[in-house]
Chain A
Amino acid sequence: MKGRVTHVGISAAVSSLLVLATMQGAQANQDLQNLTKNADNWALQTGNYTGQHNSTLSQINKGNVKNLKAAWSFSTGVLHGHEGAPLVIGDMMYIHSAFPNNTFAVNLNDPGVIAWQHKPKQIASVKAVACCDIVNRGLAYGDGKIVKTQLDGKLVALDAKSGKVVWEIEVCDPKVGATLTQAPFIVKNTVLVGCSGAELGVRGAVNSFNLKTGELQWRAFATGPDEEVRLAKNFNSDNPHYGQFGLGLKTWEGDAWKIGGGTNWGWYAYDPKLNLFYYGSGNPAPWNETMRPGDNKWTMTIWARDLDTGEAKWGYQKTPHDEWDFAGVNQMILSDHKVDGKVTPLLTHIDRNGIMYTLNRDNGNLIQAAKVDPAVNVFKKVDLKTGTPVRDPEFSTRMDHKSTNVCPSAMGFHNQGLDALDLDEPIVYAGLNHICMDWEPFMLPYRAGQFFVGATLAMYPGPSGPTKKEMGQVRAMDIVTGKYKWTKWEKFAVWGGTLATKGGLVAYNTLDGYIKALDKDNGKELWKFKMPSGGIGAPMTYQFKGKQYIGSMYGVGGWPGVGLVFDLTDPSAGLGAVGAFKELQNHTQMGGGLMVFSL
């Protein structure tokens, strides 16, 4: 991180105008929360600060969804995987693309015209650094600015009206393997963002930047000394058994924490009452677990941090000493529901490891840790008293152990998708992967004492589907009890997540290109439409001039699509994804853009 701030295009002549705009913007930004409360907008990737990814709009509903038609569409001109969704603020829509990370603004009064576009120049070589396609998870809005991330590690603020660059800073250095794919998260005057690249030894951190100036306010690492991890004095005082102080060093051998990974490239949530924000740190590095004995704290951790200081109030490590690559960066869903008869502030997180965790988001108390599918076998269970998972050594991925039918695979049963929580009930509509794997380690002599050390990952459908060929499902689950309500199986992984609306619908995309709407009560399919290319993001919804729209990015790619987008044929390539998704090429091809539907 260079911390270099580049102000672009601020000349003395226009500065007075800008000051005016900024003042208005500041006011508007304090109301970003209000913007998200107006269901006409879709102002955050997660829909709102709770991360519930749902909407109170009900014009499109169970009764009429069968009449849903394509209203308009938009090509981003970029072929690779499109995660995330567009934003809608008032009459403007903002659309992102995969690398080269172009941004387009469209006035909804005339979506056939591009109001402005921002096409950054990036060195093509950064593409090599990204692990799993060259995706981007979308834009953020605040203070009259669109804030975007670029794969080359830059965080850029654009004027939302003109698309002109307001500031630009370098956050991650691709030269050491760090890239930027995350959607920034804006709260008040703060932009939160983290780098990708844990596997390459990037030391993970969450960074807080000043929305107005782009200056770094604080940074909290996932590993290392307590002051750099920014632990509050009372850190984990409610749950000392989660671990408290000195562990960012003590749970590593030597200086290995410096290359220990734990990056965060997933989603954030924010509780204005507690002024805490929540996110997950990712997998430890290097991948070969024998190189990093110990719990490797605080990788794979659910964090609750103070928005203003970055200090951690609590942290819960889900997967100590990860062996599977279960990067724990997934979505955090905040809600208030009854536990043992008492309304409790909850945080729900469906992890890559196949466990859905529900905690008290105020103090970190673990309330529930349920398997999202009975096939999960890497853990027998999670001990709710101690918070530690009970491993099954048979399904561990040690360097001296060949294991078969490991569930979940390295992709996890849940990846970067944004899932919806029901508007009323404690039910999450989880878009899940259902892929297991064989892990075959190898250590083969080469020359002069040199070895090839690695493992072949073969991925294939898990055992639970009705034909045992299903690789995905949407499952309605109770976040407090962990009970399943209904399940809708899919041929391919449901990678992007779900959207729930007051109209009683659960909408999601499939890897082979369908956008579908289910009845939220029973999972029955009510509507589907085949998009030009597979979907790896979740749908969003907005209302414009009294009419509800459902929008969705399309563009197959990401980790499940790496075989397709890079034309790989070796089944174990793309971290084993190629084999599992070989058939995808018969269903869809590359192509990125946006589809918008209305009645």
Chain B
Amino acid sequence: MHIVDKKSCISAVKAALVGVAGMLALQAQAADELRVCAGKDELPYSNDKQQGFENEIAKVVGKAMNRKVSFVWWSDARYSVRDFLDKKQCDVLLGLDKGDPRVLNTKTYYKSGYVFVTRKDREIDITSWDHPYLKERNFRLGFLPDSPAKNMMLEIGRFDDMFDYLTELTDFKSTRNRYIKIDERKLVNDVITMKLHAAAIWGPTVAKYVAESPTPLNMVLIEDNATRANGSKIPMQYEVVMGVRLGDEALKAELDNAITSSQQEIDAILKREHIPLLPI
């Protein structure tokens, strides 16, 4: 499987062995530019018109590094690391989970969580996976394939009830061997039209759509107390980092400094997006 741990130790050693002079030369070559791997059509994160909040954050960070930002667009999120970052088409990816083994992680630049989105007027007051509503067969809860929310639906025995909705989300296409970009706005719209009672989804993905909805909606962070039957945790909160190629310590250090110095600006961008922020 692709997820097999990149042998990060070996890579680190290799990087160390590369002569200091060599590293400096590489750096000098690219120092005037920050090549960002970004989604071509991945709103609200990014698109090739640079309308996403990650596009903005990249520019802010680039400014702090005194580098010109250029975007290199990928269109299949599955291969952004394998075919872009690792093949040196670009040098940094935004929006990764802390701990992603495929890349060298920068420091966290924000933390958020999964949310329940509901219509205000329906007064569906759910804040955790323990809520009895969620166990009712006819309670329609929207979620994305292979997300922590899906895992919780499996855990509470509700996955099968919503399987038809999943196939609809992927336009009746099998996700087996293709990348299907699901427009998360659909989940919000389905809450509005009461096709769903609620959606359980990563807050940053829908925050803007929720805030801009003409029908008043509630968006609450889900309590981070979800566990599997065996007691292992299914996290509902995630720290978000940038990723550079394994071994690219210099760029990581530069980005870490830039994140620190522009944290306030980053926060402002996220707040404009109405993203629920948790303390880092």
**Pair A444/B2 contact, Cβ less than 8 Å:** yes
A197 nearest in chain B by CB position = B172
**Pair B1/A441 contact, Cβ less than 8 Å:** yes
| CB contact under 8 A between A443 and B3, given known A254-B157, A259-B163, A450-B148 | yes
- Which residues of A come within 8 Å of B, CB atoms? 128-129, 131, 175-177, 199-201, 254-256, 258-259, 286-288, 399-400, 402, 441-457, 570, 572-573, 575-576
Q: Compute how far the CA of A287 lies from the CA of B170 in the bound complex, rounded to whole angstroms.
A: 14
Q: Compute how far the CA of A400 lies from the CA of B176 in the bound complex, rounded to whole angstroms.
A: 14
A322 smallest CB distance to B (angstroms): 13
| CB contact under 8 A between A201 and B238, given known A442-B1, A444-B2, A445-B3 | no
Q: Compute how far the CA of A452 lies from the CA of B100 in the bound complex, rounded to whole angstroms.
A: 14
B102 nearest in chain A by CB position = A445
Q: List which B222-244 residues lie within 8 A (CB) of chain A.
A: 234-235, 238, 240
**Pair A446/B176 contact, Cβ less than 8 Å:** no
**Pair A287/B77 contact, Cβ less than 8 Å:** no
**Pair B235/A452 contact, Cβ less than 8 Å:** no
Most A C-beta atoms less than 10 A away, residue of B96, B171, B172: B172
Chain B residues closer than 8 Å to A456, beta-carbon distance: 177
Q: Compute how far the CA of A443 lies from the CA of B167 in the bound complex, rounded to whole angstroms.
A: 19
**Pair B235/A575 contact, Cβ less than 8 Å:** no
**Pair B174/A575 contact, Cβ less than 8 Å:** yes
B202 nearest in chain A by CB position = A448
| CB contact under 8 A between A255 and B157, given known A448-B238, A572-B177 | yes
Chain A residues closer than 8 Å to B1, beta-carbon distance: 399-400, 402, 441-443
**Pair A452/B146 contact, Cβ less than 8 Å:** yes
**Pair A447/B95 contact, Cβ less than 8 Å:** yes
B210 smallest CB distance to A (angstroms): 16
Q: Compute how far the CA of A200 lies from the CA of B166 in the bound complex, rounded to whole angstroms.
A: 9
Q: Compute how far the CA of A402 lies from the CA of B3 in the bound complex, rounded to whole angstroms.
A: 12
13 examples of A-B residue contacts, CB within 8 angstroms? A175-B164, A176-B167, A200-B172, A259-B164, A443-B2, A443-B3, A444-B78, A445-B96, A448-B147, A448-B148, A449-B147, A451-B146, A454-B78
| CB contact under 8 A between A287 and B3, given known A201-B164, A452-B146 | no
Chain A residues closer than 8 Å to B178, beta-carbon distance: 454, 570, 572-573
Chain B residues closer than 8 Å to A200, beta-carbon distance: 164, 167, 172, 174
Q: Compute how far the CA of A447 lies from the CA of B275 in the bound complex, rounded to whole angstroms.
A: 15
Chain A residues closer than 8 Å to B235, beta-carbon distance: 449
Chain B residues closer than 8 Å to A128, beta-carbon distance: 171-173
Chain A residues closer than 8 Å to B179, beta-carbon distance: 452
B170 nearest in chain A by CB position = A200
Chain B residues closer than 8 Å to A442, beta-carbon distance: 1-3, 78
B275 smallest CB distance to A (angstroms): 12
Whether, in the assembled complex, B114 has its beta carbon less than 8 Å from a beta carbon of chain A, the answer is yes
Chain A residues closer than 8 Å to B77, beta-carbon distance: 446, 452
Whether, in the assembled complex, B51 has its beta carbon less than 8 Å from a beta carbon of chain A, the answer is no
| CB contact under 8 A between A177 and B164, given known A442-B1, A445-B96, A445-B100 | yes
A256 nearest in chain B by CB position = B160
B158 smallest CB distance to A (angstroms): 10
A410 smallest CB distance to B (angstroms): 9
| CB contact under 8 A between A453 and B167, given known A254-B160, A255-B157, A443-B2 | no
The contact string, 1 if C-beta is below 8 Å from chain A, for chain B 137-153, is: 00000001111100000
**Pair A199/B147 contact, Cβ less than 8 Å:** no
Chain B residues closer than 8 Å to A447, beta-carbon distance: 95-97, 202, 205, 238, 240
A-B contact count (CB 8 A): 113
**Pair A452/B163 contact, Cβ less than 8 Å:** no
Contact of A455 among B114, B177, B205 (CB under 8 A): B177
A453 nearest in chain B by CB position = B146
The contact string, 1 if C-beta is below 8 Å from chain A, for chain B 52-88, is: 0000000000000000000000000111010000000
A176 nearest in chain B by CB position = B164
Contact of B202 among A444, A450, A451 (CB under 8 A): A450
Contact of B238 among A256, A258, A402, A449 (CB under 8 A): A449
Q: A interface, by DSSP: helix, strand, loop or mixed?
A: mixed
Q: Compute how far the CA of A254 lies from the CA of B229 in the bound complex, rounded to whole angstroms.
A: 14
Q: Compute how far the CA of A450 lies from the CA of B100 in the bound complex, rounded to whole angstroms.
A: 12
A201 smallest CB distance to B (angstroms): 5
**Pair A131/B174 contact, Cβ less than 8 Å:** yes
Chain A residues closer than 8 Å to B96, beta-carbon distance: 445, 447
B33 smallest CB distance to A (angstroms): 26
Whether, in the assembled complex, B175 has its beta carbon less than 8 Å from a beta carbon of chain A, the answer is yes
Chain B residues closer than 8 Å to A287, beta-carbon distance: 174, 176
Q: Compute how far the CA of A308 lies from the CA of B100 in the bound complex, rounded to whole angstroms.
A: 59
**Pair A576/B78 contact, Cβ less than 8 Å:** no
Q: Compute how far the CA of A193 lies from the CA of B81 in the bound complex, rounded to whole angstroms.
A: 47
Q: Compute how far the CA of A286 lies from the CA of B146 in the bound complex, rounded to whole angstroms.
A: 13
Chain B residues closer than 8 Å to A256, beta-carbon distance: 160
B110 smallest CB distance to A (angstroms): 12
- The list of the 4 closest CB pairs from A to B, nearest first, reads A448-B202, A449-B148, A450-B147, A200-B167
Chain B residues closer than 8 Å to A451, beta-carbon distance: 146-147
A259 nearest in chain B by CB position = B163
B193 smallest CB distance to A (angstroms): 15
A110 smallest CB distance to B (angstroms): 42
| CB contact under 8 A between A177 and B2, given known A259-B160, A456-B177 | no
B232 smallest CB distance to A (angstroms): 13
**Pair B167/A201 contact, Cβ less than 8 Å:** yes
Chain B residues closer than 8 Å to A444, beta-carbon distance: 2-3, 78-79, 81
A451 nearest in chain B by CB position = B146
Most A C-beta atoms less than 10 A away, residue of B146, B204, B240: B146
**Pair A129/B78 contact, Cβ less than 8 Å:** no
Q: Compute how far the CA of A447 lies from the CA of B182 in the bound complex, rounded to whole angstroms.
A: 13
Contact of B177 among A255, A445, A454 (CB under 8 A): A454
> 16 new A-B pairs (CB below 8 Å) besides A128-B173, A453-B146?
A128-B171, A129-B172, A255-B157, A441-B1, A442-B2, A444-B79, A447-B238, A447-B240, A448-B204, A449-B147, A449-B235, A450-B147, A451-B146, A452-B77, A454-B177, A575-B177
A179 nearest in chain B by CB position = B172
Contact of A453 among B79, B112, B175, B202 (CB under 8 A): B175
Q: Compute how far the CA of A175 lies from the CA of B205 in the bound complex, rounded to whole angstroms.
A: 26
**Pair B95/A452 contact, Cβ less than 8 Å:** no
Q: Compute how far the CA of A573 lies from the CA of B205 in the bound complex, rounded to whole angstroms.
A: 27
Q: Compute how far the CA of A452 lies from the CA of B157 in the bound complex, rounded to whole angstroms.
A: 22
| CB contact under 8 A between A450 and B144, given known A131-B174, A399-B1, A444-B2 | yes
B142 smallest CB distance to A (angstroms): 14
Chain B residues closer than 8 Å to A176, beta-carbon distance: 164, 167
Q: Compute how far the CA of A254 lies from the CA of B157 in the bound complex, rounded to whole angstroms.
A: 8
Q: Compute how far the CA of A175 lies from the CA of B102 in the bound complex, rounded to whole angstroms.
A: 39
Contact of B175 among A201, A449, A452 (CB under 8 A): A452
Q: Compute how far the CA of A453 lies from the CA of B180 in the bound complex, rounded to whole angstroms.
A: 11
Chain B residues closer than 8 Å to A450, beta-carbon distance: 144, 146-148, 202
Contact of A452 among B78, B114, B240 (CB under 8 A): B78
**Pair B172/A177 contact, Cβ less than 8 Å:** yes
